[in-house]
């Protein structure tokens, strides 16, 4: 594993310390999990933006059309 170093405001450090104590985990573990979750969220945003770019309103279906195609009428 690689080592990262960064500066954080005091309020974040205090929250991190409280979280680490509460969950009986190391600060490194909490930071790693938070970073993993953040990066997954950012990938989801990127994926959604790519899908949005490829959206063609002319290909959109109404609810009635979807029901008809799925024989749900």
Quick one: what percent of the chain has pLDDT higher than 70? 100
Residue 3 lies in a domain: no
More confident residue, 22 or 73: 22
Per the structure, the complete domain to which residue 64 belongs is given by: 10-69
d(CA 73, CA 62): 13
- For the chain, the domain total comes to 1
What is the pLDDT at residue 57?
Answer: 83
- pTM (predicted TM-score): 0.72
* DSSP one-letter code for 57: G
pLDDT per residue over 5-53, tens digit each?
999 999 999 999 999 999 999 999 999 999 999 999 999 999 999 999 9
Q: Does residue 60 sit within a domain?
A: yes
């Amino acid at each position: 594993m690689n080592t990262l170093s960064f500066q954080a405001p005091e309020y974040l450090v205090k929250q991190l310390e409280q979280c680490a104590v509460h969950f009986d985990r190391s600060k490194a573990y909490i930071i790693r999990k938070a970073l993993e979750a953040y990066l997954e969220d950012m990938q989801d945003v990127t994926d959604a933006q790519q899908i949005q770019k490829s959206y063609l309103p002319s290909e959109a279906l109404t609810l009635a059309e979807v029901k008809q195609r799925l024989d749900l009428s």
